[in-house]
A and B are shown apart, each in its own frame.
Chain A
């Protein structure tokens, strides 16, 4: 199956955004598609496949081979894009983290609307939910740091949204709240039922706002 959107004339003129929906395979062989577009398309497929492979295998067992298989690219192509498995997972994490933050920022400054937008995104993208909420191996320092950065960023967004109400700003409290929220999302998304994440919205909103 081909991705018509990418092959159409208008799409060719535009850069491929990391926010684009899940890409399908381009036609094999000679097709006249510019090589930089092919590369960008391969990269998107690999990022998507990395999140899917993580949801399937977890950090304990995930392999570059499974990612290339899901993306439908060769191992050689994988290593043209990424130095190793962890570089690919880091890129996938950063891409999904940016999308999540963008969704929340679009709904802020209202804290409730921001939380609802974040959960809506995670429920609609279960692989992204697993990738962003699962605790990565601490030995992979860059990935662990990217997750800490996400927690900091979400915590700062929560603090900013509640600034007028927060009487005693505690430097680590938002981190505790976001850490707890991600743990809850991780448990709920592990069941593979997006409905369970959507059901979390009223409870999680109340919990995130209760002690601030």
Chain B
């Protein structure tokens, strides 16, 4: 099923034919139609499996990092690594899903809701009288997703990293207001510097080999 995601990520959902999928995944046309009703069905099923893995991966990054802000930052950093390391699949998951039809979109909505519920754990630290709107979780996840989609659509996945401090400002600000947002921005800027140093060191190591 990975073949459909890579093909759609590279060629675009509209341009991807069943033949193009089979070129990536192997197998025959008849086998394809034994498993899937259509390209749309194949994409939706593959999307469901991959987005589930990615959600678990991100939730684990957040759960193993203490504190809401650090957890969100760790999950976004893990998402950005995924996007830069697997751009074709990321493009299928974050960009092509938008045009791949209702079955994939329904799974997409479910994933957004799940991540939104996790990010909504911020509410435990907020006085109920000052609770942010109900849609805050979905809003924040939507903002993070649109940022990733923007970088992938532009063909430059590496630039998602530039947005990390602003995204943390956006996420913290949506729940806790402007003062918290500024602190989150500063701390994310520091993390970004460390991440860039790590990437530069890894690149040097690769060159030395």
Closest-by-CB residue of B relative to A187 is B109
Residues of chain A within 8 A (CB-CB) of B185 are 168, 170
Residues of chain B within 8 A (CB-CB) of A212 are 173, 178
Q: Which of A134, A173, A200, A207 contacts B166 (CB 8 A)?
A: A173
Residues of chain B within 8 A (CB-CB) of A203 are 133-135
> Known interface pairs A167-B178, A210-B173. Does A176 touch B132 (Cβ–Cβ under 8 Å)?
no
Complex Cα gap A211–B165 (Å): 13
Closest-by-CB residue of B relative to A182 is B146
Residues of chain B within 8 A (CB-CB) of A187 are 109, 112, 138, 142
Contact digits for A140-170, partner B, Cβ 8 Å, 1 yes 0 no: 0000100010000000000000000001101
Q: Number of residues in B with C-beta < 8 Å to the partner?
A: 49
Within 8 A of A (CB), among B127-147: 132-136, 138-140, 142-143, 145-147
List 25 A-B pairs, Cβ < 8 Å.
Answer: A58-B101, A60-B100, A61-B101, A134-B98, A135-B98, A135-B146, A135-B149, A138-B12, A144-B153, A168-B178, A170-B166, A171-B166, A177-B143, A180-B140, A180-B143, A180-B170, A181-B139, A183-B142, A183-B145, A204-B139, A206-B133, A207-B135, A211-B170, A211-B172, A211-B177
Q: Which residues of B contact A (CB under 8 A)?
A: 12-15, 40, 91, 95-96, 98-101, 105, 109, 112, 132-136, 138-140, 142-143, 145-147, 149-150, 152-155, 162-163, 165-167, 169-170, 172-174, 177-178, 181-182, 185
